Chains A and B, each alone.
Chain A
């Protein structure tokens, strides 16, 4: 007990702890409690019923939304992983000047600091029915009629996800690659491994924690998203986040809360697999 008064850490960590308590723990507990409540058109009714869950879990809409969301998450994950790994590999092993490396790294990260919504909107003049892609393809005679699936489609949603979240893969993978002892690469090549064998049997295992961290970001961002799906599918697709958002707009908070709890459990289940690969504290 003496340490409690003596150790300044307790005082220093108080602001962080308060924010976590008030704006993370309490809200999550609120959601959990409210998900068992009843509601009508005007108000929430404190109760302990499973109706919200039984409705949610037996509805075909939910199943479809989950399948769609898994599809988005998996496609985006596969594309950002292969793209992010290749780009990080290029930055880490092909660019020798630390200055150029720094500049290129900053170039890759700056868009992360600009507005996501604006970055989504900026695809419209490119992909729209009369957009640049369609008019170029029409002019060159490659197509006879404008492609309809470029905008407001699953293609547009995944494209936007890759555009928004690729750097969440590049950064942690680059970070792990920079820590690889360069002698190991030389040893692998001296031992007769081809370049590809070196990549897959030496580099990949050594940056698996970077890959896992990037995957955690991409998977959680896509699983919880609703605005990208709403904007880029033009309201034609419903992901889990869109369903929750719709229930919020209709003020059906208990139903939205139940949806949020199930989403949370799903995401946690997916992450528990990824967290096996990393020791976060060691990564910093």
Chain B
């Protein structure tokens, strides 16, 4: 039925869209292929044999600085940022459902936090720690710097969620005698769970990949993006691509996991729902 009523311009726009996807994914796929270069292969095509050589080299410490250490630091930092972003955004989202003094000011400051050039935050926190004679560390100053980037996203998502939230469900729970905590735990939380997974995913990946805000705040020990940046200047072998391929695969599997989680929550809810209109 659809094909006979295709709007004019469908074909060129489809072609443009496909080209955009190639533009988006092509380079990543290219280094994905090149990371399997043979031991004598270089940074560009042609492939000089196929091997896992460069992936093995990745885990030899002397090859690429401290890959294992920076990876585990980035993971821990990402997890901490994820937990705090989810919790703090949820709490703030709940807070903004009522009026409170200073709400507008705080909202605008949160927006400023989102659009302030990252290098400013990095520099500011770096100098602040320096002046306070505190040693910057990935678990303290970089952690705070990352939160200034992830929390605005989290808060905006929570706004979007609660703007679409049907208050009738809460009212019904309270009418039936549920306490405030029960209403939250058994009614509100399950309804907003998919969005919370989304906020968590955002929190983790934004922190895991963050470079500019970590630059002056990480202290002595590098996070993974800083380590990769260091490699770009002194590593001239496909080991760089192997690292890129691994981190990209890692990010992709996280996204897939989160999407799967959201899908499962939604399906379970749909199965549990007695009437079709009770889904969010």
Contact = CB atoms under 8 A, between A and B. Distances in A.
Interface of A: 3-4, 7-10, 12-13, 15-17, 19-20, 22-28, 30-31, 34, 83, 86-87, 89-91, 93-94, 96, 104, 106-108, 110-111, 113-119, 121-126, 128, 130-132, 135, 163, 166, 195, 216-217, 220, 223-227, 231, 241, 244-245, 248, 253, 256-257, 260, 263-264, 267, 271, 280-281, 284
A19 B225 contact: no
Given A125-B31, A227-B211, A284-B163, A96 B2 contact: yes
B16 A260 contact: no
A121 B21 contact: no
B119 to A, nearest CB: 5
A28 B131 CA distance: 14
A200 B97 CA distance: 37
Given A110-B252, A125-B44, A135-B45, A90 B17 contact: yes
Contact of B88 (A19, A24, A86, A284): A19
Identify the 10 closest CB pairs spanning chains A and B, nearest first: A224-B117, A27-B124, A122-B27, A12-B95, A23-B144, A9-B95, A13-B95, A118-B244, A9-B100, A16-B92
A96 B3 CA distance: 11
A23 B120 contact: no
Nearest to B93: A12
B44 A128 contact: yes
A121 B9 CA distance: 35
B222 interface: no
A81 to B, nearest CB: 14
B124 A28 contact: yes
B272 interface: no
Given A16-B92, A224-B117, A244-B119, A117 B144 contact: no
A19, A83, A115, A224 — most chain B CB neighbours (10 Å)? A115
Given A23-B148, A125-B43, A227-B211, A12 B119 contact: no
B28 A114 contact: yes
B94 interface: yes
Contact of B125 (A15, A23, A91, A108): A23
Q: Is the interface of B mostly helix, strand, loop or mixed?
A: helix
B8 interface: yes
Interface string B4-34: 0001111001101100110111111011001
Q: Is the interface of A mostly helix, strand, loop or mixed?
A: helix
Given A12-B95, A17-B106, A23-B121, A126 B30 contact: yes
23 contacts: A13-B95, A13-B96, A13-B106, A16-B92, A16-B110, A20-B113, A23-B147, A27-B128, A30-B124, A31-B120, A90-B16, A91-B17, A94-B10, A96-B2, A115-B208, A117-B232, A118-B248, A125-B34, A195-B9, A241-B119, A244-B123, A263-B117, A264-B120
A24 B31 contact: no
A124 B238 CA distance: 11
Contact of A12 (B2, B25, B91, B145): B91
A226 to B, nearest CB: 6
A9 B98 contact: yes
B69 to A, nearest CB: 18
A210 to B, nearest CB: 14
Contacts of A86: 13, 16
A225 B120 CA distance: 11
Contacts of A231: 232
A16, A124, A226, A281 — most chain B CB neighbours (10 Å)? A16
B193 interface: no
A23 B212 contact: no
Nearest to A256: B123
